Chain A
Amino acid sequence: MNTAYNFAFFDEGSKREIRRATLKAIAIPGYQVPFASREMPIGRGWGTGGLQLTLSLIGKRDVLKVIDQGSDESVNAVNIKKLVSDTTGIITTDYTAEATLIQSRHRIPEVPLTKDQILVLQVPLPEPLRYYEPSESETKKLHAEKEYSGAWLMLFEQIMKYGSMTTGADHPVLVHDRYVMAPSPIPRFDNSKMNASEALILLGAGREKKVYAVPPYTKVVSLDFEDFPFEPETFEDKQCRLCGSTGVFLDELVDELTDETVYQCNDTSYCLEKLNTVGVK
């Protein structure tokens, strides 16, 4: 453990400021709370928002898991884990069920989260209305007045252009019947996991200096139309080539030698756990 820094890198005042913003975010589900985003030893846009939330919340007995696009071993995840364990001395894990704090980029784990866990998501663009209205002061007004025709209009435009809603990720959701929220670029497949989630979900945008939250057991509805209902990605008749899982989010891989398309679990730790307990298919 590196003792040159205070516990969890930040000084106590900084942690308190971030926690205060977090508490406000939890009190107003889906509302973007501005906070004093700090300079971090990793680049902006590499998860500084999530990292600041993680560092402000972490305690000596916490167990941390960091996921980057489903993987526990990619550069981003490894570096964040290193920084946190270096400045706190806590242990990290790959197993979702073991972790008390999970920081994730663009995925919600396949293993259902419990009420003892906190999920921290990294957010690049927290404002769901940004493409519709570039001005921040205007979007604030739109949120205040619950004027969300712009959010539906963006989906309408997709239908006009491509015949269906084409948000591959970051499909806007309505939280607690009040605020429209960008769920961070998780695939549509994961949107339903936010609804009535047992775990607290926190979302942090470091560059945009915003935090927002979905408290446990909160209603989260994906936006859609009467004749174009929301549909998550489906992987019917497909299974993971390694562990044989079905009903999970699968990556499509093309074997360049044989030109064959194969599918594999996106959540690597889920896949590994299954392989370890059940054995190779």
Chain B
Amino acid sequence: MTGFEVPVLSVKNLNKQYGPGCLYCKDKSSDSLGKNYCQVCGTVYACRDVSFEVFPGEVLGIVGESGSGKSTLMQCLYFDQEVTAGGAFVSSYENGEKNLFQESSQQQRYIRNHIMGKVYQNPLLGLRMNFSSIGNIAEKLIAAGSNHVGVMEDRGTDLLNKVNIPVHRRKEAPKNFSGGMQQRVQIAKALSNNPPILLLDEVTTGLDLSVQASVLDLIKGLQRELSISIVLVSHDLGVIRMLADRTLVMLEGQVIEEGLTDQILEDPQHPYTQQLVHSLL
């Protein structure tokens, strides 16, 4: 990626804290910065000054141990949680001039339906388990203004076909599906309105290896075909190695290292990253 391209998504100094904070932990020079919580007032700093940019057609990987703030970051980006401070800008929304976090909740809903798609680690969060699979996709299409059943049915069937859900099961509810299938329905749902940005939160965690491989293959294929930008969160370096062009490493809510994936994996600089890479068999 050249530096002259306009980023699709840029996140600036995103902060998310749980608790009011106190004089001690607001003082950046104090020891409390080493950990992501304040020993005095107990405030948890889930994300601290996270900034990054995603360029067109790029896959950005985010790695980090459990509790490092990866999922919180994704939830903030999809407006599932409110940020404490910071900004996010999307080039396809108001020319990237408006901070998404300061928009009204209706506008945020619009952005969720038109500009972003998200796949959750837990399919229960991303799907309506009692509605049909095709209905799940239609939900996003209706929210984006579609009012034609035939068009929506065709589009839904198309998408489910793309993620290898057999056509005769498209009217079945996702609760009857296996974990891998549910994950694929989620991907189809996230893609329903052709969003320029796709957020993937630990999509393969908890799936067995062969299913993992098929889901990863699918994501890779779709990414090439549709050239969408993807933010991919995972604690699995194998997934990152396979999919991500560029990688951020997070620890205690902070980005500690950033670079091309190969560079991070072959020549880690930060002690934590070194440890992480070495722990890979």
Interface set of A (CB-CB < 8 Å, partner B): 132, 141, 145-147, 149-150, 152-153, 156-157, 159-161, 225-228
Q: Taking the complex as formed, is B278 at the interface, i.e. its CB lies under 8 A from any CB of chain A?
A: no
In the assembly, what is the distance between CA of A149 and CA of B142, in Å? 6
Residues of A within 8 A of B132 (CB): 157, 160-161
| A153:B135 contact, CB within 8 angstroms | yes
Q: Taking the complex as formed, is B149 at the interface, i.e. its CB lies under 8 A from any CB of chain A?
A: yes
Known: A156-B138, A225-B148, A227-B149. 4 other contacts (CB 8 A): A147-B109, A153-B142, A160-B135, A227-B148
| A161:B171 contact, CB within 8 angstroms | yes
| B109:A145 contact, CB within 8 angstroms | yes
| A156:B142 contact, CB within 8 angstroms | yes
| A152:B142 contact, CB within 8 angstroms | yes
Nearest neighbor of A153 in chain B, beta-carbon distance: B139
Q: What's the minimum C-beta distance from B143 to chain A, rounded to whole angstroms?
A: 4
In the assembly, what is the distance between CA of A158 and CA of B60, in Å? 40
Question: Of B134, B139, B147, which is within 8 A of A225 by CB?
Answer: B147
Nearest neighbor of B108 in chain A, beta-carbon distance: A145
Q: What's the minimum C-beta distance from B91 to chain A, rounded to whole angstroms?
A: 25
Complex interface bits, B127-153 against A, C-beta within 8 A gives 1, otherwise 0: 010011011001100110001111011
Residues of A within 8 A of B106 (CB): 145-147
| B109:A225 contact, CB within 8 angstroms | no
Residues of B within 8 A of A161 (CB): 132, 171
Q: Taking the complex as formed, is B13 at the interface, i.e. its CB lies under 8 A from any CB of chain A?
A: no
| A149:B148 contact, CB within 8 angstroms | no
Question: Of A141, A147, A153, A160, which is within 8 A of B171 by CB?
Answer: A160
In the assembly, what is the distance between CA of A51 and CA of B167, in Å? 51
In the assembly, what is the distance between CA of A153 and CA of B143, in Å? 9
Task: Show 14 residue pairs from A and B whose CB-CB distance is below 8 angstroms, ordered by the A residue.
Answer: A145-B105, A145-B106, A147-B106, A147-B109, A149-B139, A153-B135, A153-B138, A153-B142, A156-B135, A157-B132, A160-B134, A225-B148, A225-B149, A227-B148
In the assembly, what is the distance between CA of A93 and CA of B138, in Å? 49
| B150:A227 contact, CB within 8 angstroms | yes
Q: What's the minimum C-beta distance from A33 to chain B, rounded to whole angstroms?
A: 22
Nearest neighbor of A155 in chain B, beta-carbon distance: B149
**A-B pairs with beta carbons under 8 A, tally:** 46
Given A145-B106, A147-B109, A147-B143, also A157-B148 (CB < 8 A): no
Q: What's the minimum C-beta distance from B133 to chain A, rounded to whole angstroms?
A: 10
Residues of B within 8 A of A153 (CB): 131, 135, 138-139, 142
| A157:B131 contact, CB within 8 angstroms | yes
Residues of A within 8 A of B109 (CB): 145, 147
The 3 residue pairs across chains A and B that have the minimum distance between CB atoms: A149-B143, A149-B142, A226-B148
Residues of B within 8 A of A226 (CB): 147-149
In the assembly, what is the distance between CA of A203 and CA of B136, in Å? 32
Nearest neighbor of A152 in chain B, beta-carbon distance: B142
Nearest neighbor of B130 in chain A, beta-carbon distance: A131
Question: Of B105, B135, B147, B150, which is within 8 A of A157 by CB?
Answer: B135
In the assembly, what is the distance between CA of A150 and CA of B106, in Å? 15
Nearest neighbor of A151 in chain B, beta-carbon distance: B142
| B134:A152 contact, CB within 8 angstroms | no
In the assembly, what is the distance between CA of A242 and CA of B142, in Å? 46
In the assembly, what is the distance between CA of A157 and CA of B134, in Å? 9
Give residues 162-209 of B contacting A (CB, 8 Å). Answer: 171
Nearest neighbor of B105 in chain A, beta-carbon distance: A145
Residues of B within 8 A of A227 (CB): 148-150
Residues of A within 8 A of B153 (CB): 160
Nearest neighbor of A228 in chain B, beta-carbon distance: B149
Residues of B within 8 A of A146 (CB): 106
| A156:B171 contact, CB within 8 angstroms | no
In the assembly, what is the distance between CA of A161 and CA of B130, in Å? 13
Residues of B within 8 A of A132 (CB): 128
Residues of A within 8 A of B149 (CB): 156, 159, 225-228
Residues of B within 8 A of A147 (CB): 106, 109, 143
Nearest neighbor of B133 in chain A, beta-carbon distance: A160
Residues of A within 8 A of B105 (CB): 141, 145
Residues of A within 8 A of B131 (CB): 153, 157
Nearest neighbor of A159 in chain B, beta-carbon distance: B149
In the assembly, what is the distance between CA of A157 and CA of B149, in Å? 10
Nearest neighbor of B170 in chain A, beta-carbon distance: A160
Give residues 214-261 of B contacting A (CB, 8 Å). Answer: none
In the assembly, what is the distance between CA of A227 and CA of B148, in Å? 6
Residues of A within 8 A of B143 (CB): 147, 149
In the assembly, what is the distance between CA of A153 and CA of B147, in Å? 10
Residues of B within 8 A of A157 (CB): 131-132, 135
Nearest neighbor of B171 in chain A, beta-carbon distance: A160
Q: What's the minimum C-beta distance from A128 to chain B, rounded to whole angstroms?
A: 15
Residues of A within 8 A of B138 (CB): 153, 156
Residues of B within 8 A of A152 (CB): 142, 147
In the assembly, what is the distance between CA of A153 and CA of B149, in Å? 10
